[in-house]
Chain A
Amino acid sequence: MNQRSCGEFVIEATGLSKAFGPATAVDGVDLAVRTGEVYAILGPNGAGKTTTVRMLSTLLRPDSGTARVLGHDLLTEPGKVRGRISLTGQFASVDQDLTGRENLVLLARLFGFRGRDAQDRAEELLTVFELTEAGSRPVKTYSGGMRRRIDIAAGLVVAPELMFLDEPTTGLDPRSRKQVWNIVRALVNGGTTVLLTTQYLDEADQLADRIAVIDHGKVIAQGSSVELKASVGTGAVHVHLADPAEREAAQRLLAGVGVAVHPGAEPGTLTVHIAEHGASAADQACAALQRLSQADIGVATFGLAYPSLDEVFLSLTGKPAVDQAA
């Protein structure tokens, strides 16, 4: 375990705000991240996740608000904070023109490993991240999953006490995504606190002890994934109707029996929100499908899924998440 000197919280932020010109990117964010947990910031594109992470990792000075990170004041002791954190940004956080091995040796040298030790450290990380062979190729030739692994490896040349991962799995295939999840689990197991950002509820649910939902730069919900799902519902049934023209009738029918239902993006699709938990959640899902078949509304396909981020937002704010990215 790492040495802890900061008590229960590794991050205590109050009222963090940042504006870029007239646009407010982060608007009074309060966060309390406990030692040893995985904390997820969940929000759509443009919500202010990256800006928050950049402020907490000393890269961006907040316009207002204060934060203590690992017991040090973010504004007055940024150097002390830097010595104990590691940041893996959303985009290419290693030199794309250098090889994976060169990137790791470079960082090892910057951390003070000399000569052979730097090489050995790089080799250890390449091995454990399954990049030994790819290690001698420029990073720009890597696949998405490999790129993400070298990004994360670069953040682990010396074990940090607190690791920031900005959207570590966005754009990855399912297998690479699972690899990243397991790396995060191993990190936490080894005593590192992880703050990650994501656009996926299932990712936050799988990994995080606690989640903050952020929208338009504001935290709109905060709590454990159980608490969050209690307010959002366990999941959803995505239904594709055989006849798209019957969508309105289906919506009316289901609304009549007290299930929240929203039209999907494609014609003939709709989403039934399951508010119940445990066994009764399954009952509710079955009941909804049964109602459709009793009314002779043909269902082409259906699937059970986590509520999408959009649906989380719908139930938290009453309106869908807006993609504000420029």
Chain B
Amino acid sequence: MDNRSPTLGRPDADDPALAQLRTVLTARPRPPRPGPLTTSLVFGWRTLLRIKHLPEQMIDVTAFPIMLTLMFTFLFGGAIAGSTTEYVQFLQPGILVQTIVMITMTTGSSLNSDVVSGVFDRFRSLSIWQPAVLVGALIGDAVRYLLGAVIVLVLSLILGFRPEGGFLGVLAGVALVLIFSFSLGWLWTMLGLLLRTPQSVTSLSMFVMLPLTFASNIFVDPKTMPGWLESVVGCNPITHLTAAVRAAMQGTLTSGQTGVVLLWCAGLVGVFAPLTMRLYRTKH
């Protein structure tokens, strides 16, 4: 910068730049405080802006779904059903669940590195509905999950997936996955605030996620399992979610199936959102 511009660099406290600063400070009346929804959406917008500036964040929702879909379809499709096209009808909704639920884990590790930056001190010192900071992050992430879901679906259609539930059925299935992911996100935000490093968040998340997704009905029908395992799998929320998504895409979704999934969502939010907020308030 050059020294001759009319700047704040001049020592005289009465110079025009400073008079201008004083004017700007008081120029506008303070607007009314926005509500929780608006505030959350603003933080959602922040997440999207960050994606715009750090596009590498999109790798996990683009490359990862493509890899998983191809791998599971050909690996399991060939081995378990003998033919890919038949098994695809059973497997694709499961792969959608598996993929999206796996990428929700990134929410925790990215929050973990974000929350130690000074900007979170600023957010915490604002007079806003504080949970919006995290709700917004999860809303923003839901946009990433949606992109992942679209990729899985398009690829599945190419591989021969023909959902009988039609467009509306697929829409309902995706909506269930996104709502569940948003709710599960609170578990990851809690871990993101609890643990010290993004690496430890990722490894602990994996430790939780692998049994949850594999001890479920994603790849095989639980009826083929031994009785004890079948009952374990029956308690797994991922099993309920997958069953509901499968039904939605086949056009046979019942309100009972939807209800169970939504109950699980409410439970996850009810337990982990307050814990997350507690950690968020006391994190330093």
Residue numbers of A with Cβ under 8 A of B are: 54, 57-61, 79, 82-98, 102, 106-107, 109-114, 117, 121, 124-125, 127-130, 138, 154-156, 158-159, 175, 178-179, 182-183, 185-187, 189-190, 192
Contacts and interface: CB of A to CB of B under 8 A. Distances in A.
Interface residues of B, number: 46
Contacts of B3: 175
Nearest to B29: A158
B22 A111 contact: no
B21 A186 contact: yes
A106 B128 CA distance: 13
Given A83-B127, A87-B121, A182-B18, A187 B13 contact: no
B220 interface: no
Interface of B: 1, 3, 5, 7-11, 13, 15, 17-18, 20-22, 24-28, 30-34, 38-39, 42, 45-46, 49-50, 53-54, 117-119, 121-122, 124-128, 282, 284
A175 B50 contact: no
A112 B119 contact: no
Contacts of B118: 89-94
Contacts of A187: 21, 25
Nearest to B284: A60
Question: 9 nearest interchain CB pairs?
Answer: A112-B31, A83-B127, A82-B127, A186-B18, A179-B8, A92-B118, A87-B125, A190-B22, A93-B118
Contact of B11 (A57, A156, A182): A182
Contacts of A89: 118, 121-122
A175 B11 CA distance: 10
A57 B93 CA distance: 49
Contact of B18 (A60, A117, A185): A185
Given A128-B24, A179-B9, A110 B34 contact: yes
Contacts of A113: 28, 31
5 contacts: A54-B284, A95-B46, A102-B49, A111-B31, A127-B24
A109 B42 contact: yes
B9 A110 contact: no
Contact of A112 (B24, B32, B121): B32
A170 B46 CA distance: 29
Given A59-B124, A128-B20, A96 B30 contact: no
Contacts of B282: 61
Contacts of A125: 24
Contacts of B50: 95, 97-98
Given A178-B9, A187-B25, A130 B1 contact: yes
